[in-house]
Amino acid sequence: MRDPRGSSNNSSLSLGNTTFALTDAAFSLLRELIEQRTGVVFDEAKRGLLADKLSEPVAANGLTSFLDYYYLLRYDENAEAHWAVLMDRLAVPETFFWRQAEQILAVANVIAPAHFLAYPGRPLRIWSAGCCTGEEPISLAIALAEAGLLGKYPIDIAATDGSAEMIARARHGSYGERSFRQLPPALKWCG
């Protein structure tokens, strides 16, 4: 699809009877705004993914272009509400216990002991950014408990996510069988 300004490097997406073209200009403005606001980077290879994630809120707001959506996020009096919706759209809800086990075990078996040796009495503070529904920080707590550190030393684990929906699910703390697929059998408890 070619836009009227002559650019041919567009992603377009159809939603119902409407087709939205992510022009070069709109893509550049939106990806810079999203990166600036959230730290999430959409390079050229993820242009179609961004168009897919944005098309529903574009249509839901009665807009006719991605550029209009940029202006909505940037200048609308309800911009914060639009950002909350966008953060839920950008969330990647794929997570599970013991995901990236090597890193979890490195925290529990290498980093935490080294911290307490170097800084006796000082708390170890861990920030699980982008924690989705909470499996990562819980996995860290399990690993620290298994290493005999949790309860013995001062440890704070903070978990955050840009998606209010993911945080609500994490607070609920209810997980399906798929969330436990990597958890070692010795750590599974069926009560």
Whose tokens are 């440890």? That residue is 155
Residue 77 clears pLDDT 50, i.e. is over it: yes
Residue 2 clears pLDDT 80, i.e. is over it: no
Nearest to 70 by CA among 20, 112, 1, 114: 20
Angle between helices 47-60 and 66-75 (to 10 degrees): 70
Query: What are the structural domains of the chain?
Result: 11-90 (1.10.155.10), 101-187 (3.40.50.150)
Indicate the pLDDT class of residue 20, thresholds 50, 70 and 90.
Answer: low
The answer to whether the CB of 69 falls within 8 A of the CB of 79 is: no
Q: What is the C-alpha to C-alpha distance for residues 103 and 82, in angstroms, rounded to an integer?
A: 35
pTM of the model: 0.63
Considering only residues 7 and 64, tell me which one the structure prediction assigns the higher pLDDT: 64
Indicate the pLDDT class of residue 182, thresholds 50, 70 and 90.
Answer: confident
